[in-house]
Every structure is written in structure tokens, then in C-alpha cells.
Homo-oligomer: A and B are copies of this chain.
Amino acid sequence: MGEPGARTPRERYRAQVREEIKQRAWGQIAIAGASALSLNAIAKQMGMSGPALYRYFANRDELITALVKDAYRSLADTFAARTEAGTDLGGLADALRRWALDDPQRYFLVYGTPVPGYEAPEDTTRIAAEIMAHLLDACAAEQPPAPPRPLDSHLAEYRAWAGEHPAPSSALRRALTFWTRLHGVLSLELAGHFTGMGFDPAELYADEVRALGVSGADAAMLAEEK
């Protein structure tokens, strides 16, 4: 999570303070969203005065960028852990939903409304590729009978982006569809667009996982929830 080397005591202290700042920032974001994040309030919470934080983050954007990067890292680690226990697509779907529900604002920090001018730094896109690689592994591992689709031929460059992943084109397409469909259900659920409609979003999510042809998905894979 923190900076790699923490040899000198000063660096150790610095990393610790940086971590606490991010921690408080997450707290604020969970309550009022990322746009309401206040450096001043964080400093006050930590018992020090405003400008002190600028020793640790050059500005507000840099703090938020660090949080975004941590969020990406968190999802990548979650997928990696789930992959350890066997690469099944259903497991990844389950892990994704748990990760999202665990902290909706963290999910939105990664997949939510972007700031028009903002460009993601290179290392976050690398983590994004890492996340997609887990998906591709799982799709390549359990390949259902799937007829070729017109889209497949368009995915040559996409394969290059994914680091020349050796999965077949149909797996590339399936990973992409997995991503977009589950994000569709998840983001609308977390945004509260289903409230009052009277159905269980978990059921809708499970239904989409089934529709993706995940092996063994008919079982109560997601029923264990809550």
C-alpha cells in the first residue's frame, strides 16, 4: 500500500502520515463523495493546520489521484486473491460485486463520472490492464461453446493492449462483455437507480452472470450473500 522502501525513520514517518491522510480522505469520501473532499477538514481532524498537508500532497488532485490508484490496486489485489483460489469467472463476478458494495464511492472513484480534463496517469492504466488480465485468464480457462461474432475481428488491437494475451478472440470479447454488463448493473445499483423498484439487485446481477454462460453459475453462487 505505502511507499516501498521505508528505511530512514523520516521516510517511515512520512509514509505513515501520508497513509493517515488517505485514510481520513476515504472517510470523507464515503460520507460526502469525492467532490466534497476538503484538505482543510482532514488537517483539522489530524490536529494540524491546513497548509501542512501540502508537504505530503502537492495539491488536492494529487491526493485524489493517489486514492484512485489505491482503489485500482485494491481491485487488482482482490481479483488476484480470488484467482489464487482457482480461476473461475463466477468467482470474479462475486468478488467484483462484494468489492463494489464494500465501498461504493471507491467503485465510483474508479468507474464513475470522470472530470473532463483529467488524464489517468500511466501506472493506473497499467493496473487496469492487470485487472483485465485476470478476467482474460478466467475467460480463457473456461471457454463455453460460443459462435464467432462480428465484433471478434475488431479486437486485434485490443489484444495488443492487453499485453498480447494468448486468449482466443472469443475470450477477449467475452471478458469485455463481462466487464460492461456487470458494470452496468453494479453502477446503476450503487447509484440508487433501482431503489423503489422493488426487485433485488443481487438477483439481476446473478441473472447477468448466468447469461454470460458462466459455468456452475446456476448454483447459489451469489445466494450466499447477506
Contacts and interface: CB of A to CB of B under 8 A. Distances in A.
Nearest to A189: B180
Interface in A49-78: none
Interface stretch (A9-17, A83-91, A110-118, A133-141): A110-118
A20 interface: no
Given A35-B35, A145-B223, A111 B199 contact: no
A201 B90 CA distance: 25
A123 interface: no
A215 to B, nearest CB: 10
Interface in A20-63: 30-36
A160 interface: yes
Given A113-B112, A114-B192, A207 B151 contact: yes
Given A113-B113, A158-B199, A180-B181, 12 more contacts: A30-B116, A31-B116, A111-B187, A111-B191, A112-B112, A145-B223, A147-B221, A151-B203, A158-B198, A177-B207, A181-B181, A183-B184
B116 A32 contact: yes
Interface in A121-173: 125, 128, 144-147, 149-151, 154-158, 160-161, 173
A122 B36 CA distance: 25
B117 A108 contact: no
A161 B197 contact: yes
A7 interface: no
**Chain A interface mostly:** helix
Interface of A: 30-36, 105, 108, 111-117, 120, 125, 128, 144-147, 149-151, 154-158, 160-161, 173, 176-177, 179-185, 187-188, 191-193, 196-200, 203-204, 207-208, 210-211, 213, 221-224, 226
Given A204-B176, A211-B224, A191 B161 contact: no
A207 B112 contact: no
Contact of A184 (B115, B125, B187): B187
